[in-house]
């Protein structure tokens, strides 16, 4: 009797888990499910299982046709091309695998689409993004801190190289904090499984594209997080990595084909020079090394010219959007991947979700390189990347220089002026993601020498200039350190762990200086959120003079004047040269102090200051 019950149980279990019958195993099918009613009616299943390539494949389901069955070098893979007609009904599709006398059936789920994912707005300059590393933000579930089946089982909050236990539940628990700061979107560094034996916390060495890392939570919890964020008016940006994976990725341990990754006789490291992609004088050696060299030894470099891999990655991207309702992507190491693949990827995403936004990480040293990679680039010879925006490293570097060097013809505040003047190179500069620091760069408060006046200048600039502003977790409470090594700028948010002595998530837990910084960010974020002119208004900048940089944001109904002054002593600013923007106005409200300011006479500037003035008639 017991045996019969067990056999029934086993049969039910096998049915529920997707496959049934006999000895040959289908280990996995990716994507794990799909939907009917997608605009793209073809789908390619990656089927993995012992000797699966010896099987013939057939499907008997109205609307679903097997158009091609592809074998690759490794006999444990089959790539099955399906066509799914527009009127196909959702349901379980039986895929029949036949090898000799052996038959196997795999039930593949085609789901009904839900929500308005293809028409809802993505993130944009209307948003203010809060970026965080989930391992270092808050530990909402200590039960998942150590997962014994993972390759890295050590938890050590005293070491920057180990996992600290932060997770998705921790982010859910603090969505109100993020919202209270004034953010309208949240970007988590990658949450996909990183089952690497060492330093797996950062998330950029994915080992399963379809699975949330168990130390961060489950796929269901991630979907709950997206819903919880949406309920609070926060959008969610997912961090995607296409250039490389972790050594422990399941498909790296059993490569479909040798050209799945870039391989060479001796280890080839990338030269990290994006420039080689557009430099008319670049050598073939350097170009090859840039794209085909590995980022680091522990991250195999994917060859997206392999069409099966390209399809795998593209479908995975669409799967996350459709299954969770995320609002946008941030794309890691953008330019290290095959550019034609990156273009195809965004085209495929936009085919399903025309408004979906993505920004690419391009950590280089000239505006032109960034502009080259933006969609519809005006630069001769630039490819159509379909990439809406770039992470604006150039503006970040400019702010750092502006606040650390006295102004002269080229340096100091002038650097910001020159950087923004090159916006003519971009097809749409507003699409850039602007920031002051991130998980790879020194913390902004340290960059400005822990001078709160300069800190406010930077924050004030970030929230009033063009682009989609992004703040890195902890910057708002003056977390500091230089990024050498980068773990130093990835410290735990105080209060995120039970038993933390300090809790900076609360007003009471913050020092007066930290509260001052938090309040400053919050005030400007709120003003920006409530005043369209700061989000989408035209930007007019004046040539910096006398250690002072002045710019305006304006639309037909509203004008805001911003004055940044570098120098200890302060000075009087004569307003005559700003007449083209000031005419018709006699006064304004300084939105930081709340005080009325006359614009009919010179304005007094304090040392190292920023003023944001809403002009009034």
- Write out the residues near Ca ion by the rule CB under 5 A: 139, 141, 144-145, 165, 167
CA distances from residue 335 to 167, 202, 295 in whole angstroms, order as listed: 29, 20, 12
Burial class (CB in 10 A: 0-12, 13-18, 19+), 580: exposed
Q: Is the dihedral of CA 240, 246, 251, 255 positive or negative?
A: positive
* C-beta closer to Ca ion: residue 83 or 224: 224
Q: How big, in percent rounded to 5, are the helix, strand and coil portions of the chain? A: 30, 25, 45
Residue 526 CB, shortest distance to Ca ion, in Å, is 32
Candidate list 127, 213, 332, 547, residue with the active-site label: 332
- Long-range CB pairs of 569-576 (<8 Å, 24+ gap) are 569/607, 570/604, 570/605, 570/606, 570/607, 570/609, 571/546, 571/547, 571/605, 572/602, 572/603, 572/604, 572/605, 573/546, 573/548, 573/602, 573/603, 573/604, 573/605, 574/602, 575/599, 575/601, 575/602, 575/603
329 within 8 A of 361, measured Cβ to Cβ: no
345 within 8 A of 314, measured Cβ to Cβ: yes
113 within 8 A of 36, measured Cβ to Cβ: yes
* C-beta closer to Ca ion: residue 49 or 190: 190
Reply yes or no on whether 361 is catalytic.
yes
Residue 221 CB, shortest distance to Ca ion, in Å, is 11
Quick check: helix, strand or coil at residue 146?
A: coil
CA distance 408 to 422: 19
Residue 194 CB, shortest distance to Ca ion, in Å, is 14
Q: Which residues contact 273 (CB under 8 A, 6 or more apart)?
A: 286, 290
CA distance 340 to 378: 18
Residue 497 CB, shortest distance to Ca ion, in Å, is 9
CA distances from residue 170 to 132, 166, 334, 427, 493 in whole angstroms, order as listed: 11, 6, 29, 38, 11
**Residue given tokens 């289908």 in the structure block:** 26
The token pair at 607 is: 């040392």
* C-beta closer to Ca ion: residue 146 or 228: 146
Q: Of the candidates 470, 471, 460, 469, which has an alpha carbon nearest to the alpha carbon of residue 560?
A: 460
- Long-range CB pairs of 540-547 (<8 Å, 24+ gap) are 540/580, 540/581, 541/417, 541/420, 541/421, 542/577, 542/578, 543/417, 544/407, 544/412, 544/413, 544/414, 544/416, 544/417, 546/571, 546/573, 547/406, 547/407, 547/412, 547/413, 547/571
* C-beta closer to Ca ion: residue 167 or 392: 167
Residue 204 CB, shortest distance to Ca ion, in Å, is 19
* C-beta closer to Ca ion: residue 146 or 255: 146
Q: What is the DSSP string of 404-471?
A: TS---SSSTHHHHHHHHHGGGGSS-GGGSEEES--TTS--HHHHTTT-HHHHHHHHHHHTTSSSEEEE
559 within 8 A of 568, measured Cβ to Cβ: no
Residue 175 CB, shortest distance to Ca ion, in Å, is 17
* C-beta closer to Ca ion: residue 139 or 548: 139
152 within 8 A of 146, measured Cβ to Cβ: no
Reply yes or no on whether 292 is catalytic.
no
* C-beta closer to Ca ion: residue 165 or 496: 165
* C-beta closer to Ca ion: residue 145 or 259: 145
**Residue given tokens 């997912």 in the structure block:** 238
* C-beta closer to Ca ion: residue 116 or 143: 143
* C-beta closer to Ca ion: residue 430 or 500: 500
The token pair at 73 is: 């070098």
Candidate list 301, 361, 423, 437, residue with the active-site label: 361
Q: What is the DSSP letter of 177?
A: H
CA distance 534 to 565: 20
* C-beta closer to Ca ion: residue 119 or 143: 143
Residue 485 CB, shortest distance to Ca ion, in Å, is 23
Active-site positions read 332, 361
């Amino acid at each position: 009797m017991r045996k019969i019950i067990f056999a029934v149980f086993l049969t039910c279990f096998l049915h529920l888990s997707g496959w049934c019958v006999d000895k040959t195993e289908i280990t996995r099918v990716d994507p794990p499910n799909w939907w009917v009613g997608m605009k793209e009616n073809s789908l390619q299943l990656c089927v993995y299982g012992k000797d699966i390539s010896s099987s013939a494949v057939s499907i008997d389901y109205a609307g679903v046709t097997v158009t091609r069955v592809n074998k690759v070098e490794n006999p444990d893979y089959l790539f099955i091309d399906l066509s799914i007609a527009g009127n196909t009904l959702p349901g379980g599709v039986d895929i029949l695998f036949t090898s000799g006398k052996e038959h196997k059936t795999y039930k593949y789920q085609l789901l009904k689409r839900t929500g308005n994912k293809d028409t809802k707005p993505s993130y944009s300059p209307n948003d203010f993004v809060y970026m965080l590393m989930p391992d270092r933000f808050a530990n909402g579930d200590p039960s998942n801190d150590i997962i014994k089946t993972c390759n890295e089982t050590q938890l050590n909050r005293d070491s920057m190289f180990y996992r600290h236990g932060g997770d998705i539940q921790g982010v859910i628990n603090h969505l109100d904090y993020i919202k209270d700061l004034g953010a309208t979107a949240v970007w988590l560094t990658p949450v996909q499984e990183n089952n690497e034996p060492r330093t797996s916390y950062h998330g950029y060495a994915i080992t399963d594209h379809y699975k949330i890392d168990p130390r961060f939570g489950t796929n269901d919890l991630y979907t709950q997080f997206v819903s919880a964020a949406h309920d609070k008016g926060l959008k969610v940006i997912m961090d995607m990595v296409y250039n490389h994976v972790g050594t422990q990725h399941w498909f790296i341990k059993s490569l479909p084909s040798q050209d799945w990754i870039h391989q060479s006789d001796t280890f080839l490291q990338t030269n990290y020079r994006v420039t080689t992609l557009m430099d008319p004088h670049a050598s073939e050696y350097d170009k090859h090394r840039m794209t085909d060299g590995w980022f680091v030894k522990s991250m195999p470099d994917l060859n997206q010219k392999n069409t099966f891999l390209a399809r795998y990655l593209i479908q995975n991207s669409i799967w996350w959007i459709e299954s969770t309702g995320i609002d946008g992507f941030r794309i890691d190491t953008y330019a290290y991947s095959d550019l034609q693949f990156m273009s195809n990827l965004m085209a495929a995403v936009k085919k399903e979700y025309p408004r979906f936004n993505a920004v690419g990480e391009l950590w280089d040293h000239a505006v032109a390189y960034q502009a080259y990679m933006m969609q519809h680039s005006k630069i001769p010879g630039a490819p159509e990347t379909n990439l809406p925006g770039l992470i604006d490293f150039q503006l970040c570097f400019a702010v750092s220089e502006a606040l650390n060097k006295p102004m002269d013809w080229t340096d100091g505040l002038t650097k910001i002026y020159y950087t923004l003047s090159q916006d003519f190179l971009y097809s749409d500069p507003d699409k850039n993601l602007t920031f002051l620091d991130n998980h790879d760069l020194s913390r902004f408060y340290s960059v400005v020498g822990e001078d709160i006046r300069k800190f406010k200048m930077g924050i004030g600039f970030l929230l009033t200039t063009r682009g989609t502003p992004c703040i890195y977790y902890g910057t708002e409470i003056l977390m500091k350190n230089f990024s050498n090594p980068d773990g130093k700028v990835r410290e735990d948010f105080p209060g995120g762990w039970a038993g933390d002595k300090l809790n900076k998530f609360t007003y009471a837990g913050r020092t007066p200086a930290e509260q001052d910084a938090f309040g400053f960010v919050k005030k400007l974020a709120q003003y920006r959120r409530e005043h369209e002119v700061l989000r989408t208004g035209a930007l007019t900048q004046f040539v910096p003079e006398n250690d002072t940089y002045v710019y305006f944001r304006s639309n037909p109904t509203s004008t805001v004047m911003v004055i940044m002054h570098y120098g200890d002593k302060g000075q009087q600013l004569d307003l005559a040269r700003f007449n083209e923007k000031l005419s018709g106005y006699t006064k304004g409200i300084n939105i930081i102090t709340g005080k009325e300011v006359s614009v009919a006479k010179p304005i007094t500037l304090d040392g190292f200051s920023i003023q944001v003035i809403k002009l009034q008639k």
